[in-house]
Amino acid sequence: MRTILMFAAIAVVALAKPAFADGSGDPTAVKSEDGKYMDKDGNPTYKVAPDGTVDWYTYSGYRRYHSECHVCHGPDGMGSSYAPALKDSLKTMSYADFLGVVASGRKNVTSSQDNVMPAFGDNPNVSCYMDDIYVYLRARANDAVGRVRPAKHEDKSDAAKKAEDACMGH
C-alpha cells in the first residue's frame, strides 16, 4: 500500500508541475515555502547565501545523492563509465522528467552499450527525497555548489521534518 501511495504522490507532483524542455532554466529562487525554494516556474531550486550557506534541501540532496546515487553516477554527479553525468543531464532535463526517470527507471540500448537506470519509486530512501536530490543536482548543474560537502546549511524546517516523517512512515 505504501508503494502505491508513493507512486501516486510522485505522479501528482509530476503532473502538477509543467514540464519544461530546459530543466536548469533560470534557477533563481523567487519564492520560499517553509524553507523550500522555487524558481519562477514553480520548480524546486536551491538557494546559496553569499557566505556559502546552502538551503536545507540542497544539503539534504547532497547527503541523499551520496548515499544512493553516487555509486553509479559518480562523485558529485560527474558520471562514470556506465552512468551519465547528472550534473550535465540537469541542464536539459525537466523536473517532471527527472521525477519520472528516478521513479520508473530508464533503459537506453544502443549497438555499443546497454544502460539501465533502475526504478527507485519504491525505495523511500530515494522517493521521499527526490526533490532534495533534484535541487542538489540542479545546484551542481549551475555550478552553484562545488564538489565538496556544503560547509554550512540552513536548519531543517518543521515542514521538512513532518514531510519526512509522513513519507518514511514514522
CA dist 145 and 2 (Å) reads: 34
CA dist 84 and 80 (Å) reads: 6
pLDDT tens per residue across all 170 residues of the chain: 444 444 444 444 444 444 444 555 789 999 999 899 999 999 999 999 999 999 999 999 999 999 998 888 888 788 787 788 788 888 888 999 999 999 999 887 666 667 788 899 999 999 999 999 999 999 999 999 998 999 999 999 999 999 999 999 98
Domains of the chain plus CATH, in order, are 2-168 (1.10.760.10)
CA dist 122 and 125 (Å) reads: 9
Q: What is the dihedral of CA 152, 157, 162, 167, to 10 degrees?
A: -40
Q: What is the pLDDT of residue 11?
A: 46
Please, where are the H alpha helices in the chain?
Answer: 2-16, 56-68, 70-73, 86-89, 95-104, 124-127, 130-141, 158-168
CA 26 from centroid of its chain's CA atoms: 16
Q: What is the pLDDT of residue 82?
A: 75
CA dist 168 and 6 (Å) reads: 10
CA dist 59 and 57 (Å) reads: 5
- Put simply, whether the predicted model's pTM sits higher than 0.75 gets the answer yes
